Amino acid sequence: MTEAGSLDIFLRGARAQVDEALERYLPRPPACPQVISDAMRYSVFAGGKRLRPTLTLAAADAVVRRAGRLPDGTELPAACAIELIHTYSLVHDDLPAMDNDTLRRGRPTLHVVYGDGLAILAGDGLQAEAFGLLVREPPTLDTDIQARKLRVLGVVAAAAGTGGLVGGQAVDLQAAGQGAAHTATLRAEDLRNMHASKTGALIRAAAVCGAIMAGGDDETVDVLDHYAADLGLAFQIVDDILDVEGNTAELGKTTGKDASGAKPTYPSLYGIERSRVLAADAASRAKQVIQAARLGHGWLAPIADWVVSRRN
């Protein structure tokens, strides 16, 4: 079997594992109103690559296998919590007050179907459920696992907060002219920093949380943080390229939004060909750092290759 075929099997298996767990973890009536349960599930199970939770599983797998162990499943709740945070961010990002998108993952966005108010509440609910999940699961009296869970809580909170998702989105809005202090253009360093917050922070958290829950030491956690930082950069550059070259049917979302909104992107700053080189360079750096740490024999390196070759 080819490496690409093997990776495809792993990705499909990881997605199935995450989807099954998300179905169990998300609340249903009478724990919550039916309409909120339905709205959250509409977005969570709309499809998508499940890159972030898959990265959590792959990072944990790399850490335990290097130590001669097998994954014990303690990383799965963290993987699911990160996907809930990611989905909440998409729900809010699509709102008219943000990017005003009407299509996500090939179907109408949540606010188009349920209205702005319920979309905001569903996003809020997903974020709250993510942190509740990190506290509850896995249930254990093991003080070591409890310490790992507490550390993961801090990592996810930082990635989702003002130094991560929220801060990156604020800069993005400001650069697009939606802030009180409008910045017309971003320099190359500013663009990279914005994406490192808006996109990269949660991708880094995904890998780091997998390493932490697998019992990785500080050096290993740091290696996977560096890997994921470059992986996140490659992912965002490819996203920017696909917004120019992709088609709506294949991507499942409206293309050309960045250009029509005069948003700063890698293609607008560097051009398409140079952007491709930058993405490939970032993926190469990501692979080098894990190979140097003897973590390159699992799924992390193939995931980096997939990120730069993907078409959606």
pLDDT in tens, 192-216: 899 899 999 999 999 999 999 999 9
C-beta of residue 226 within 8 angstroms of C-beta of residue 204: no
- Structural domain contains residue 255: no
In terms of residue numbers, what domain contains 165? Answer: 3-215
Q: Provide the domain count of the chain.
A: 1
Residue 44 lies in a domain: yes
Sign for the CA dihedral angle at 63, 214, 192, 264 comes to: positive
Q: Is residue 284 part of a domain?
A: no
Lowest mean pLDDT among 14-28, 176-190, 224-238, 248-262: 248-262
Q: Which of 189, 41, 20, 21 is nearest to 122 (CA)?
A: 41
Q: How confident is the model at residue 237 (pLDDT cuts 50, 70, 90)?
A: very high
Kindly state the average pLDDT of the residues 70-81.
Answer: 94
pLDDT bracket for residue 188 (50, 70, 90): confident
Q: What was the pLDDT predicted at 248?
A: 62
What confidence score (pLDDT) does residue 67 get? Answer: 87
Residue 125 covered by a domain: yes
The predicted structure's pLDDT at residue 187: 82
CATH number of the domain at 79, please: 1.10.600.10
Only one residue has tokens 């989807």, namely 19
The answer to whether residue 109 sits within a structural domain is yes
In a domain, 282, yes or no: no
Q: Which of 283, 273, 296, 265 is nearest to 198 (CA)?
A: 265
Mean pLDDT calculated for residue range 107-122: 97
DSSP character for 164?
A: T
